[in-house]
Chains A and B, each alone.
Chain A
Amino acid sequence: MRLLIAALSGGLFGAGLVISGMTDPAKVQGWLDVFGQWDPTLGFVLTGAILPMALAWRVAARRHSALTGGDLPPPPPQTIDARLVAGAALFGLGWGFSGLCPGPAMASLSFGGPSFLIFFVAMVAGMLLFSVWNRRA
């Protein structure tokens, strides 16, 4: 059952990404290009995504467990630390340069061609680099 939900959720996520335009790097750069030819489309994507999720959090607050029986996530940590800010800044730079973030990068793999594969491999390498650095830090 957990695997079926994971497949449905992953498939719906992928469909939403490709239909919304999130997998189009030009559109993403257009959204971030506030001082140039600003394209507000991604604002609609983010708003559309937050609405059902805000409802889901309200439902989750009244439940003791997930439908498959496991725990629901604990309340979010509140700490704003250097890791959060520095990590978000590095991520944002990469996002702006390429027009790709992790979800759309994976969703584009099946149709994007070699450029998207290069980005994906570099992203996995970045994750591995972090893991090595984090063990030393």
Chain B
Amino acid sequence: MNPDWIAGLVGGLMIGAAAALYLLGNGRIMGASGLLGGLVDGSGRSNRTERAVFIAALIAVPGLLVAAGQAQASAPVAGSGALVLAGLLVGFGTRLANGCTSGHGVCGISRLSRRGIVATLVYLLAGGVAVLLAHALGWTA
């Protein structure tokens, strides 16, 4: 099997284990956009320390792994203008839909949530269209 697929499966199992730990340990759904969004707009005030600790570890551990040579740093695929547009779309869209790849995708699909499944199908389709558009417009870093 392609080594990238094995890394994907192993990394995926780690992501799922992290979500399982957060659910059974703290009774919370591990959604990246919701954890961050609640800090950004103040709606997550009641458990902001927990959110901040989660995000701090989420930022720090990949940095340590890359510094230790255990994981690959990656390069952007789009220029600054496209990144600003994309960031605005991701920020606004995930709050409007109340979830992203982790919340709707991983946590939603795994409990057969209708909303999670529909959201995932829609963002995969829109993502495919966006890649076609980006290639057609020649958007590169």
Note all chain B residues with C-beta closer than 8 A to A110. 59-60, 62-63, 66
A6-B18 Cα distance, complex, nearest whole Å: 9
Contact A68 B90 (CB under 8 A): no
Q: Which residues between 127 and 141 of chain B lie within 8 Å of chain A, taking CB atoms? A: 127-135, 139, 141
Provide the residues of chain A in CB contact with B40, threshold 8 Å.
124, 127-128, 131
* Count of interface residues, chain A, beta-carbon cutoff 8 Å: 114
| Cα distance A56–B100 in the bound complex, in angstroms | 20
List the B residue with the shortest CB-CB distance to A92: B126
The A interface is mostly helix, strand or loop, or mixed, namely helix
Q: Residue on A with the closest CB to B37?
A: A127
Evaluate whether A46 and B12 lie within 8 angstroms (CB atoms) in the complex, with A105-B90, A110-B63 already known.
Answer: yes
B134 near A96 with CB under 8 A, answer: yes
B20 CB to closest chain A CB, in angstroms?
3
| Min CB gap B39→A, angstroms | 9
Chain B nearest CB from A107 CB (Å) reads 4
Pair B87/A77 contact, Cβ less than 8 Å: no
The residue that B23 contacts in the complex, of A13, A26, A34, A56, with Cβ under 8 A, is A56
Taking a contact as CB atoms under 8 Å apart, the answer to whether B20 and A56 are in contact is yes
Q: Which B49-106 residues sit within 8 Å CB-CB of chain A?
A: 49-51, 53-63, 65-67, 70-78, 80, 82-98, 100-102, 104-106
Question: Is B128 within 8 A of A15, CB to CB?
Answer: no
Q: Using an 8 Å CB-CB cutoff, how does the interface string of B20-50 with A read, 1 for contact, 0 for none?
A: 1111111111101100110011000000011
Q: Which residues of A contact B (CB under 8 A)?
A: 2-3, 5-27, 29, 32-36, 39-57, 59-60, 63, 65-68, 70-73, 76-80, 83-103, 105-113, 115-116, 118-131, 133-134
CB-defined A-B contacts under 8 Å, sample of 22: A3-B49, A6-B57, A9-B21, A15-B62, A16-B12, A18-B11, A18-B65, A19-B71, A25-B74, A25-B76, A36-B135, A50-B110, A57-B110, A92-B122, A93-B89, A95-B101, A95-B130, A99-B77, A103-B100, A103-B102, A116-B76, A122-B87
Q: Which residues of B approach A to under 8 Å, CB–CB?
A: 2, 4-30, 32-33, 36-37, 40-41, 49-51, 53-63, 65-67, 70-78, 80, 82-98, 100-102, 104-111, 113-116, 118-120, 122-135, 139, 141
